[in-house]
Amino acid sequence: MFTGIITGVGRIVAIAPLGSSLDHGKRLRIQTPPSYLDDVGLGDSIALNGACMTVTSLSPEDPSFTIDISAESLAKTAGLDQAGSINLEKALRANDRLGGHLVSGHVDGLGTVTYFAPVGESWELRILAPRELAKYLAYKGSITVNGVSLTVNRVLDVDASHPQGAGCEISINIIPHTVDHTALGTLQATSPVNLEIDLIARYVERMLQDSTLPRTA
C-alpha cells in the first residue's frame, strides 16, 4: 500500500530481456538518490511511476536496485520500457503519515496528456482518461498520476470529436514543489501516464452494484 507521496526521483539506467520472446518480461535497473536504499531490503515493494514492483537485487554503493517486470505489466503501464526519470515511493508502513490518499500501486488504465503549461505560479495538467474510468473521476476527488497523489479540479466528458478520442478529460493544478520533486515536469502533450483511481470509489461502485442484485432467502 502507498500514499501517492513521492519519496524520490529515480532513473531507469538499464533494461535487459528476461527471455527471447515477446512473452518474456524485462529486468530494470533503477538508479536512486543517495541513501535512498538505506532502509530497503530484498523483496520490498517500491512503486515505479505508480506501479508496485518487488526489489530483486540491491547495489547500495551505486546506489541502484533491480526489479523484474512481466510482459503483461509492461503492456499495461507507461514509462517502464525505456530509460528515463521515474517517480519512486516506498511501501507505506503502519506508523507512517497518510499524506496523500490510499494507493494500491495497481495501474487501472493509461491516460494521455492533452495540455501541460504554467498558469501563474503553478502548472495546469490536463489528461484524457479512458471512458471506462470516467465514473470514478469527480471534482475535488483523488487520482494517482504516475504514482503522484493529485486532486481533480475539473472533469469534462468528451466524445469522439476530441483530438485524442472519447473519454474523460480531467484538469489538475500542480504546485511548483510537486513539479520540482517528481518526474511530472518531464511530461508534455501526448505523453502517456499511469492512472490509478481512488480506492474508495472502486468499493462504492461495487456496493452500488450489489444493491441492485436480487436477494435470496
C-alpha 53/C-alpha 2 separation (Å) is 12
Q: Walk me through the domains of the chain, giving residue ranges and CATH numbers.
A: 8-90 (2.40.30.20), 109-205 (2.40.30.20)
Query: Which residues pair with residue 14 across a beta bridge?
Result: 29
**Using omega within 30 degrees of 0 as the cis cutoff, is the peptide bond preceding 214 cis?**
no
**DSSP result, 167-215:** EEEEEEEE-HHHHHHSGGGG--TT-EEEEEE-HHHHHHHHHHHHHTSPP
Contact, 210 vs 37, CB < 8 A?
no
Contact, 110 vs 197, CB < 8 A?
no
pLDDT the model gives residue 216: 61
**Phi and psi torsions of 68, nearest 5°:** -105, 130
pLDDT the model gives residue 44: 97
pLDDT the model gives residue 6: 96
CA neighbor of 146 nearest in space, from 112, 171, 173, 116:
112
C-alpha 45/C-alpha 52 separation (Å) is 6
For 140, half-sphere exposure in the C-beta direction (CA atoms, 13 angstrom radius) is: 0
C-alpha 180/C-alpha 14 separation (Å) is 24
Copy the grid coordinates of residue 204.
Answer: 462504492
pLDDT the model gives residue 211: 64
pLDDT the model gives residue 22: 86
Q: Give the pLDDT of the chain (217 residues) as one tens digit per residue.
A: 999 999 999 999 999 999 998 899 999 999 999 999 999 999 999 999 999 999 999 998 899 999 999 999 999 999 999 999 999 999 998 888 888 898 999 999 999 999 999 999 999 999 999 999 999 999 999 999 999 999 999 999 988 887 777 899 999 999 999 999 999 999 999 999 999 999 888 888 888 887 666 666 5
pLDDT the model gives residue 9: 98
Copy the grid coordinates of residue 17.
Answer: 530481456
pLDDT the model gives residue 209: 80
CA neighbor of 47 nearest in space, from 55, 39, 58, 57:
55
- Three-state SS annotation for 146-174: CCEEEEEEEEEEECCCCCCCCEEEEEEEE
Residue at grid coordinates 493509461: 110
